[in-house]
Amino acid sequence: MRDPPVDPSLSLYPGGPAPVPGTRYRLTELHSGLQLSMTVRTITPEELDWYVGLGDDDWLTEIIKGWWQGEGGQSAPDRCFVAEQEGKPVGRVFFYNLESSPRSQIMFGLHLNWETDWLTVGTNLLRRALAQMKTNGASSVEYRIYDIYQKPPELQRRVVEAAGFRLTQDKLRFVWKDQGSLVEVSNRLTFLTLADAGEPAFAEAVRRVTEQTLDRDDLARLAEVGPARAARDYVDILKDIEFRPDWWLLAYLPDGRLCGLVVPQRLDDKEGCINYIGVVPELRGSGYGLDLLLKGTAVLQAAGWKKVTAEIDADNKPLAAHMERAGFRHHGTLWCYRCDLVPASETSPKGS
């Protein structure tokens, strides 16, 4: 395969034309007294297997192909970037978005050689990629670093922070594993599915349970767009991940008052998750969060999942305690980062 042409007219910073897959972008910097010459380019469709093989995550090939075809996410070869020095790959990163959020990109698959000048290479790779994503119309980029999956997490954090990302939230990951006995759920609450209640009622319940929330991401979204818009957006995001209306549950007290909600979802064929859970403010402190957690876990267990995960804000001590009581065990930490490419005021008019 012939090398694609170098385009020297494109700089590290925003404002250049949209990329053509396979186009190279030249970077030249002085670092530690040495001249660093590095190209950052997007890939061609034919390079996918080679591109994925740069990391230790061969399972990504089919997922990226699915994203290119719009299955569960949206991506394209011109969102897959590789950094090269002297014709050899030294870094890789790519981007995708959920269908409901075309301008909000999710960064994935950052891979560098951690035994070389990873900070300079990684920072330049991300700055070039972010500049091009902005040119392509992206307004923000999010990235998650898991200490159990992305090694070494402390170095990854230094790279993204140097490239302009800010930490928005640290979360605890909990895991439940089936021990052979059925999950027991109390009879204090009655449940109604989204299929029966309707989506507007579910969105209103999301608005209620996010009042005075301990989740920092939810708080930021509330401040940015307002409670009604934030609730609608969150329902759309959850639907993008997986939508089974008979699994999305609203919980009620015997007198008919709304207590809260829980959304169990499928992650893959081996793992389910509790992707959203909440209790209305006036009923917190009475253990209903545990009831909701057990109900969501029981739904997944009945559907055949032997492993259930949940990721919660590290500041949410009450929910962490419920996790332990429900048989979940703490298994890892993740850090959530965000890079705003344009001011939030230009993309998120506040709703009522």
Q: Are 333 and 172 in contact (CB under 8 A)?
A: yes
- Phi, psi angles (nearest 5°) of residue 270: -110, -15
Per domain, the residue ranges of the chain are 6-164, 177-335
Q: What is the mean pLDDT of residues 150-170?
A: 94
pLDDT in tens, 307-317: 999 999 999 99
Q: Which residue has the higher pLDDT, 192 or 345?
A: 192
Residue carrying the six token digits 């997986």? 242
Q: Which range among 205-209, 232-236, 241-245 has the greatest average pLDDT?
A: 205-209
Domains 6-164 and 177-335 share a fold: yes
6-164: what fold? Aminopeptidase (3.40.630)
pLDDT in tens, 108-121: 999 999 888 899 99
Instruction: Indicate if the pLDDT at residue 25 is higher than 70.
Output: no
Query: In this structure, what DSSP letter does residue 97 have?
Result: B
Q: Left (φ > 0), alpha (ψ -120 to 50) or beta: where does 48 sit? A: alpha
Instruction: Indicate if the pLDDT at residue 263 is higher than 50.
Output: yes
pLDDT in tens, 64-74: 888 888 765 68
Beta bridge pairs of residue 258: 252
Give me the CATH code for the 177-335 domain, please. Answer: 3.40.630.30
Instruction: Indicate if the pLDDT at residue 346 is higher than 70.
Output: no
- Residues above pLDDT 90, as percent of the chain: 70
pLDDT in tens, 271-309: 999 999 999 999 999 999 999 999 999 999 999 999 999
What per-residue confidence (pLDDT) applies to 348?
A: 55
pLDDT in tens, 241-252: 889 999 999 999
Instruction: Indicate if the pLDDT at residue 30 is higher than 80.
Output: no
pLDDT in tens, 57-106: 778 888 888 888 876 568 999 999 999 998 899 999 999 998 778 889 99
Q: Which residue has the higher pLDDT, 108 or 32?
A: 108
Peptide bond into 21 cis (omega under 30): no
| 3 state DSSP class of 16 | coil
